[in-house]
Structure 1
Amino acid sequence: MSTLISSLKDTAQSLTAIRRPWRDFLDITAVDFPSSFSDATTRIAQNLTHFPLNYTILLLLILFLSLIYHPLSVLAFLVILLAWFFLYFGRDREEPIVIFGLTIDDRLVIAALFGLTVAGLVLTGVWVNVLVAVAIGASLVILHAALRSTDDLLMDDLESPYGHVLAGRDEELDSPRGHYSGI
């Protein structure tokens, strides 16, 4: 039981470490229309990278509100959420899952959890509510990500969606051409 509690605590601490402050997320002064479609897609990519847990919490809140009049569905989804947490998000990736002497691959775990989630949607009869809630939530997330300016965000190069382009070895930075050379 103590390992379960310590696992929950460690996961909660790691998740809170990546959550950005809500005052930054909801900063009304950072709202500005993008100048072009390219600017909007860049903003969406940067904001989704900078605020991933905030957007996830927003989506889960909208999903919860869509299920509030279906208490059996809420209970079913809490059980499914716990299954996702313990079998995928909350476990150490170094240690494989072993059931009845068989080592289970991560892809199989994801497929089984996805199947469990779909079965929960179908069996509780709220799949339309969930579908509408996810569509509304995704629309709100994309709208916020497109309208929120990224000028005031402090991002590490490797945290940026373009980090692999911006990052380079020090010896390559001395050359104006980087690691490219003439033919």
Structure 2
Amino acid sequence: MSTAVPPVIPVSSVQSVESQPPAASPAFLSFVSRLNESLRNGLSQRRPWAELVDRSAFSKPESFSDALVRVRKNYSYFRVNYLSVIGLILAFSLLSHPFSLLLLLGLLCSWIFLYLFRPADQPLVLFGRAFSDRETLGFLIIFSVFVVFLTTVGSLLISALMVGVGLVCAHGAFRALRISSWTNKNKYPPVSCPF
């Protein structure tokens, strides 16, 4: 019997290279930078909370048109504070319903990883099939419609927004306008209001 020599298996030695953490993509860094700048700019325009809840400034409006004028002016003046209140109501609503919060986080993550921060030159490949940008966008839109409208997430968000907008409108309608505070403190031009 002849002895067969087993074939030689090529072996390569792995050089020990210190692994470095993956660098964040420029698109992600730009997004975070713009988000940080926008938040700082927006929060710098908020009014003092003590002025917002000053009980001596509340009075009953004389008419419905007076209430609408008050809502418009107060929205222009307390815009950032009102948006913060609505955001807190939405956050409380989502934290009290963790399943809806998880669904929204999953939806947000799918948009971020599958569409926003995916390199443009690389198609999405799932289960051996490459998906174009149009197919990915279509899937994400259908998934978003499903999550928002066919689960309890949509009704939760709409009800929280309605409570927040109702609270803001009630505050704006019953808070009297002070002309001196408008002329001295209003360094930002009033914005149009959809009311």
The TM-score with structure 1 as length reference comes to 0.59
Cross-structure match for 1:9: 36
Match of 2:77 among 24, 27, 50: 50
Contact 1:64 1:74 survives alignment (8 Å): no
Q: Percent identity?
A: 31
Q: Alpha carbons of 1:6 and 1:157: their partners in 2 closer, same or farther (altered >3 Å)?
A: closer
For 2:167 and 2:41, the matched residues in 1 are separated by 26
Cross-structure match for 1:168: none
Q: Alpha carbons of 1:14 and 1:61: their partners in 2 closer, same or farther (altered >3 Å)?
A: same
For 2:166 and 2:66, the matched residues in 1 are separated by 18
Q: Alpha carbons of 1:23 and 1:124: their partners in 2 closer, same or farther (altered >3 Å)?
A: same
Alignment of 1:23 with 2:54, yes or no, is no
Coordinate RMSD, CA, aligned: 3.6
Contact 1:72 1:124 survives alignment (8 Å): no
TM superposition shift of 1:79: 6.5
Cross-structure match for 2:67: 40
TM superposition shift of 1:144: 0.3
Cross-structure match for 1:171: none
Q: Alpha carbons of 1:140 and 1:64: their partners in 2 closer, same or farther (altered >3 Å)?
A: same
Alignment of 1:34-183 (within 5 A): 34-78=61-105, 118-151=145-178, 152-153=181-182, 154-156=185-187, 158-159=189-190, 161=192
Deviates more, 1:66-75 or 1:21-30: 66-75
TM superposition shift of 1:42: 0.7
SS in 2 for 1:126: helix
SS in 1 for 2:95: coil
Q: Which has the larger Rg?
A: 2
Q: Alpha carbons of 1:158 and 1:15: their partners in 2 closer, same or farther (altered >3 Å)?
A: closer
Structure 2: runs of 5+ lacking an equivalent: 1-23, 122-139
Structure 1: runs of 5+ lacking an equivalent: 88-98, 101-112, 163-183
Once the two structures are superposed, what CA deviation does each residue of 1:41-84 show, in whole Å capped at 9, x if it has no partner? 11000011111121111112112222223223224435667979
